[in-house]
Structure 1
Amino acid sequence: MSFDPATLKFDERGLIPAIAQDAQSGEVLMMAWMNAEAVTRTLETGRVTYWSRSRQAFWIKGETSGHVQDLVDFRVDCDRDCLLLQVNQTGPACHTNRRSCFYTALRDGEEVELMAPMGG
């Protein structure tokens, strides 16, 4: 059965959340938004392409930073309203220069940073 992005359940803005996960370690790296065209571009090129809500434009992860995401596996959840992108991540995934965007934890009601920015 061939895949048709139109079968996905996009929100009222035409977007679907996409979770990027490291294909080797399983670490959750980030969450961003995709529209149908970003899904198509990602599947055609193997380079993960998102939709920037703030810039209203496509962005290929790592295009300017060099911190690229190469697609390994593309998964659709059971409700077809969320994507899991297993990727090979080069460098940090987060714009704060951390490996993951999920670097803040709540411990006993306090926020704790679990990782420092990479490199210097």
Structure 2
Amino acid sequence: MAELQIDERQVTVTLNWWEKIAAHRSHLTVPARAISGVRVVDDALAFATALERHRHAPGTRVKGVTDTGTFVTRDGSRASVLSVCHGTGPGVVIDLSSGTISRIIISTTQAEEYAKQLGRFL
């Protein structure tokens, strides 16, 4: 499972080896000042797959199993989203105000803890 490394200046999404392969990318680091919103969702995979997609960049999507990679939404905002979601279960959604990625969605049992830590940047 992907993990968040959080310090006072930045947040890094750390992917394990198979997530790197599935996402066709390595870790992602964003400045803490770019965080504009954080919320916990009951089912991260369902949340990620419910977003209407315009184009799925390199990544892996197996319905009901995993949604790992980057895609662009078709809701008019054309937001770029990094999704690292597996199975059913809670997750954290991080909205970003600047950069090439507009939103990060990660499935994790630590969603509440991550949201609390990230909330200090809002």
Larger of the two Rg values belongs to structure: 1
Between structures 1 and 2, the one with greater strand share? 2
